[in-house]
Amino acid sequence: MTPNPQQADPQQVAEAVGRAMYAADAATRGLGIELLDIGPGRARLRMAVRPDMLNGHGICHGGFMFTLADSAFAFACNSYNKAAVAQRADISFLAMVPHDAVLTAEAREMAGGGRSGVYDIELRDQHGKLVGLFRGHSRQIKGEVVPGLA
Amino acid sequence: MTPNPQQADPQQVAEAVGRAMYAADAATRGLGIELLDIGPGRARLRMAVRPDMLNGHGICHGGFMFTLADSAFAFACNSYNKAAVAQRADISFLAMVPHDAVLTAEAREMAGGGRSGVYDIELRDQHGKLVGLFRGHSRQIKGEVVPGLA
Amino acid sequence: MTPNPQQADPQQVAEAVGRAMYAADAATRGLGIELLDIGPGRARLRMAVRPDMLNGHGICHGGFMFTLADSAFAFACNSYNKAAVAQRADISFLAMVPHDAVLTAEAREMAGGGRSGVYDIELRDQHGKLVGLFRGHSRQIKGEVVPGLA
Amino acid sequence: MTPNPQQADPQQVAEAVGRAMYAADAATRGLGIELLDIGPGRARLRMAVRPDMLNGHGICHGGFMFTLADSAFAFACNSYNKAAVAQRADISFLAMVPHDAVLTAEAREMAGGGRSGVYDIELRDQHGKLVGLFRGHSRQIKGEVVPGLA
Give the number of other CB atoms < 10 A from CB of residue B102. 13
Q: Which residue in D92, D109, D124 has the most chain A C-beta atoms within 10 A of its own C-beta, making it the best mutation to test that interface?
A: D92
Count, residues in chain A: 150
User: At residue C12, does pLDDT exceed 90?
Assistant: yes
Instruction: Count how many pairs of residues, chain A against chain D, have C-beta atoms within 8 Å.
Output: 32
Q: What is the mean pLDDT of chain A?
A: 94
Please, what is the end-to-end C-alpha distance for chain C in angstroms?
Answer: 16
Strand partners, B35: B45
Strand partners, A54: A60
Residues of C in contact with B96 (CB under 8 A): none
Q: D51-72 pLDDT, tens per residue?
A: 999 998 899 999 999 999 999 9
Rg of chain B over Cα atoms, rounded to whole angstroms, equals 16
Residue A145 lies in a domain: no
Q: A102-148 pLDDT, tens per residue?
A: 999 999 999 997 799 999 999 999 999 999 999 999 999 999 999 98
Residue B86: the pLDDT is 97
User: At residue C4, does pLDDT exceed 70?
Assistant: no
Task: Say if the ipTM goes beyond 0.90.
Answer: yes
- Average pLDDT of the residues in C42-68: 97
Grade residue C1 by pLDDT with cuts at 50, 70 and 90.
very low
Pairwise CB contact (< 8 Å): C130 & B118: no
Q: For D90, which of A90, A94, A110 is closest by C-beta distance? A: A90
What backbone torsions phi and psi does residue B117 show, to the nearest 5 degrees?
Answer: -135, 150
Q: D121-145 pLDDT, tens per residue?
A: 999 999 999 999 999 999 999 999 9
User: At residue C141, does pLDDT exceed 60?
Assistant: yes
Q: D30-57 pLDDT, tens per residue?
A: 999 999 999 999 999 999 999 999 998 8
Residue C150 lies in a domain: no
Supply the DSSP string of chain A, one letter for each residue. Answer: ----HHHH-HHHHHHHHHHHHHHH-HHHHHTT-EEEEEETTEEEEEEE--GGGB-TTSSB-HHHHHHHHHHHHHHHHTTTSS-EEEEEEEEEE-S---TT-EEEEEEEEEE-STTEEEEEEEEE-TT--EEEEEEEEEEE-SS-SSTT--
C→A contacts (Cβ < 8 Å), by residue, are: 87-88, 90, 116, 137, 139
Cα separation, A107 vs D113, whole angstroms: 23
Residue A50: the pLDDT is 98
Helix (H) or strand (E) holding C17: helix C10-24
Q: What share of chain D is helix, strand, coil (3-state, %, to 5)?
A: 30, 35, 35
Least confident segment among C86-95, C115-124, C130-139, D107-116: D107-116
Residue D103 lies in a domain: yes
Q: B66-105 pLDDT, tens per residue?
A: 999 999 999 999 999 999 999 999 999 999 999 999 999 9
- Average pLDDT of the residues in C127-146: 96
Close Cβ partners of C97 (under 8 Å, ≥ 6 residues apart): C49, C59, C60, C65, C103, C125, C131
Residue C114 lies in domain: 5-140
Cα torsion for D124, C24, C34, C150, to the nearest 10°?
A: 110
Give the number of other CB atoms < 10 A from CB of residue A43. 29
Residue A149 lies in a domain: no
User: At residue A4, does pLDDT exceed 90?
Assistant: no
Alpha-carbon distance values, D88 to B25, B92, B118, D70 (Å): 29, 17, 10, 10
Q: What is the DSSP letter of C143?
A: S
Distance between B85 CA and the closest CA of chain A, angstroms: 9
Distance between A65 CA and the closest CA of chain B, angstroms: 9
Grade residue D1 by pLDDT with cuts at 50, 70 and 90.
very low
Residue A114: the pLDDT is 79
Residue B145 lies in a domain: no
Distance between C3 CA and the closest CA of chain D, angstroms: 31
User: At residue B111, does pLDDT exceed 60?
Assistant: yes
- Average pLDDT of the residues in D102-129: 96
Residue B33 lies in a domain: yes
- Average pLDDT of the residues in D17-26: 97
Whether C13 and C150 have beta carbons less than 8 Å apart is answered as: yes
Cα separation, D92 vs B58, whole angstroms: 30
Counting the structural domains of chain B, the total is 1
Grade residue C119 by pLDDT with cuts at 50, 70 and 90.
very high
Helix (H) or strand (E) holding C5: helix C5-8
Residues of C in contact with A90 (CB under 8 A): 90
Whether D149 and D16 have beta carbons less than 8 Å apart is answered as: yes
Residue C94 lies in a domain: yes
Grade residue C7 by pLDDT with cuts at 50, 70 and 90.
low
Close Cβ partners of D128 (under 8 Å, ≥ 6 residues apart): none
Pairwise CB contact (< 8 Å): C88 & D92: yes
D→C contacts (Cβ < 8 Å), by residue, are: 20-21, 24-28, 30, 51-56, 61-64, 66-68, 70-71, 74, 85-93
Pairwise CB contact (< 8 Å): C56 & D21: yes
Looking at per-residue confidence, does B15 or B148 come out higher? B15
Distance between D29 CA and the closest CA of chain A, angstroms: 30
Q: A83-95 pLDDT, tens per residue?
A: 999 999 999 999 9
Grade residue A1 by pLDDT with cuts at 50, 70 and 90.
very low
What backbone torsions phi and psi does residue B32 show, to the nearest 5 degrees?
Answer: 75, 15
Distance between B82 CA and the closest CA of chain D, angstroms: 19
Residue D80 belongs to a domain with what CATH number?
A: 3.10.129.10
Give residue D43's identity as a one-letter amino acid code: A
Q: What is the mean pLDDT of chain B?
A: 94
Residue D150: the pLDDT is 62
Residue D150 lies in a domain: no
Count, residues in chain D: 150
